Amino acid sequence: MIKNILKISKDLLYEQPFYGSILISLLKEIDNKKTNTACVGLNGIMFKLSINSEFWDTLSDNHKKGLLIHELGHICNFHLTEYRHLENAEIANIAMDIYINQN
């Protein structure tokens, strides 16, 4: 699985350098308990990408790239750092996902 993540990351770096350059700077972990799919979060002053290996293995390479671009969109749009003023975190997360998916 790790080799596949590295391959997809390299492909993304060549195909979409903006997203690829952000992706290579992230801490990455495989954690089937933390998420059912994939997510990004803060880890100190760094961003971390967490991936559920069972979910990842069900996706095509193009879907994997799209998933990574979606997660990177949360970082690019400051969704991990500029949300504390919002009253309902669950609704905010849904709204942020909708925003990213439309872009």
pLDDT in tens, 45-78: 999 999 999 999 999 999 999 999 999 999 999 8
Q: CB–CB of 81/60 below 8 Å?
A: no
pLDDT in tens, 4-40: 888 999 999 999 999 999 999 999 999 999 999 999 9
Antiparallel, parallel or unpaired: β 27-30 and 46-51: parallel
> What's the confidence (pLDDT) of residue 98?
95
Burial 22-56 (b: 16+ CB within 10 A, else e): bbeebeeeeeeeeeeebbbbeeeeebbbbbbeeeb
Could you give phi then psi for residue 46, rounded to 5 degrees?
Answer: -105, 160
> What's the confidence (pLDDT) of residue 2?
77
pLDDT tier at 80 (50, 70, 90 boundaries)?
confident
Strand ranges across the sheet with 46-51: 27-30, 46-51, 38-43
> What's the confidence (pLDDT) of residue 6?
87
